[in-house]
Amino acid sequence: MHFVVCAKQIPDPETPPSAFKIDESTNTVVPAQGFQPVLSQYDGIAAEAALQIKEALGDEAKITVLSVGAESAQAAIKQVLAMGADEGVLLQDDAFEGGDSHTTAKVLAAAISNLGDVDAIFCGRQAADWDVGQVGLLVAEELGWPAAILAKGVEISDGSMKTTRVMADGFETVSQALPAVVTVSNEFGEPRYPKLQQIMQAAKKTVTTMTHDQLGLDPSEVGSSGARLKLEKLYIPQSDSQVEIIDGETPEEQATNLIAKLVADKVL
């Protein structure tokens, strides 16, 4: 078996709102001082799902990590390698920049076709920066494979993938023939922490880099040239709410004063 984990490096989502800044001339987020970019946490959970299945198969599976990103995204790939993945490929090219979900999926699908023998693809439910949640499905569409999103459980056996999906009101179990794509949700559980020895081994591994040429992609169909959604403006919303702290000498007084406000506002 050969599994692919798609991993994205993102600005640390734990950056406090006060340190979150946007450069409005380029519509990009300004890296916050003191916060290193991280592996999108849902992708870590996707890697955990792939690793658990590999272990259930008695290690009879190879896991390749793919990331579309800049040179720095090697760190995200190495983190998944340290967790236990076998190989990493960074899809890095100026031509990939300024893309959207569609162009990212196109690059990933080209790399997966290039690998040739992939049985299942594991993605996070969404990247924790743009919060979109389409790349997994779009990779599946590019490849013509079935896909299940928002998994809290995944099993692979006898050429099929069984997924328990998180629904608004509960869970749904579906099965699909391999090769298939799954996007994994936070309900799956926490990813493992690599041991120091694994981190050191991963640091020594070579991450292959591939460009549009090697993937057989035309620059016009990827990055900003191929994007179908155009980002017009990225901005920080203005909060129009000015909090009114409720006075009172005692909790009872505060409570009574608050209820009086709610009644005056016709909320109660």
Partner 1 sequence: MAKNILVIGEHADSEITATTAELIGQSTRLAEGGLVSVALLGSSAADATQQAFEAGAGKVFVNDDDGYTEYNSDQWVAAIESTLESIDVILVAQSTVGRDLAPRLAARQGTAAAMDCVDVRSDNGEIRVTRPCYGGNALADYSFATSPVIATVRAKAFEALPLQSGASGEVIELPAPSESRTTIEGREVAEAEGLAITDAPIVVSGGRGLGGPEGFEDVENLAAAFGSNRAAVGASRAACDLGWYPVSQQVGLTGKVVTPDLYVAIAISGASQHMAGCSGSKMIIAINRDPEANIFQNAKYGIVGDYKAVLPALIEAVKAQS
170-229: contacts with partner 1 (CB under 8 A): 170-177, 185-187, 227-229
Q: Work out whether 234 is an interface residue with partner 1 (CB under 8 A).
A: yes
With respect to partner 1, which residue has the nearer C-beta, 58 or 251? 251
Instruction: Tell me if 233 contacts partner 1 by CB under 8 A.
Output: yes
If the CB atoms of residues 54 and 102 are measured against partner 1, the closer one turns out to be 102
**Residues 2, 65: Cα–Cα separation, whole Å:** 11
Q: Does residue 43 touch partner 1 according to CB under 8 A?
A: no
Determine contact, residues 37/10, Cβ cutoff 8 Å: yes
User: Is 258 one of the binding residues for partner 1 (CB under 8 A)?
Assistant: yes
Q: Cβ of residue 115: shortest distance to partner 1, in angstroms? A: 21
Q: Does 40 bind partner 1 (CB under 8 A)?
A: no
Residue 232 interacting with partner 1 (CB under 8 A):
yes
Distance from C-alpha of 172 to C-alpha of 187, rounded to nearest angstrom: 13
One of 25, 59, 235, 264 touching partner 1 (CB under 8 A): 235
70-109 residues near partner 1, rule: CB under 8 A: 100-102
Backbone φ and ψ for 168, nearest 5 degrees, come out as -60, -35
| Nearest-approach distance from CB 98 to partner 1, in angstroms | 12
Site residues (CB under 8 A) for partner 1, limited to 132-171: 132-134, 137-138, 141-142, 146-150, 162, 167-171
33 DSSP assignment = T
When computed from its CA atoms, the radius of gyration of the chain, rounded to whole angstroms, is 22
CB of 222 to partner 1, least distance (A): 14
Residue 265 to residues 242, 252, 261: CA-CA distances in angstroms? 15, 20, 6
d(CA 25, CA 41): 29
Residues 6+ apart with CB under 8 A from 264: none
57 binds partner 1 (CB under 8 A): no
Residue 142, classed as helix, strand or coil, is: helix
Q: Considering the complex, what minimum distance in angstroms separates the CB of residue 223 from partner 1?
A: 13
* Total Cβ atoms within 10 A of residue 155: 15
